[in-house]
Amino acid sequence: PLASHHSLIGGGVMTLTVETGAIVTGANSYVSRADAIAYASDRGVALADSAATDAILIKAASYLESYRNKFKGELVSRDQPLAWPRYSAVIEGFAWGHDEIPRQVINAQLAVLLEINAGDDPFNPTPVVGPVTEETVAGAVTVRYASGTSSKVKKTRASDAIIALMLSRSGLMAVRA
Predicted TM-score of the model (pTM):
0.75
In sequence order, what are the beta bridge partners of 100?
none
Average of per-residue pLDDT across 16-39: 97
Average of per-residue pLDDT across 151-165: 72
Q: When comparing pLDDT for 62 and 13, which is higher? A: 62
Q: Where are the beta strands (DSSP E) in the chain?
A: 5-9, 12-16, 74-75, 86-87, 89-91, 94-96, 132-137, 141-146
pLDDT at 158: 80
- Let me know: does 136 contact 79? Beta carbons within 8 Å: no
DSSP 8-state class, residue 20: -
How many whole angstroms separate alpha carbon 86 and alpha carbon 75?
5
Average of per-residue pLDDT across 33-53: 97
Count the neighbouring beta carbons within 10 Å of the beta carbon of residue 153.
8
Per-residue pLDDT band at 157 (split at 50, 70, 90): confident
Average of per-residue pLDDT across 72-99: 96
3 state SS for 148-168: CCCCCCECCCHHHHHHHHCEC
How many whole angstroms separate alpha carbon 5 and alpha carbon 93?
35
pLDDT at 56: 97
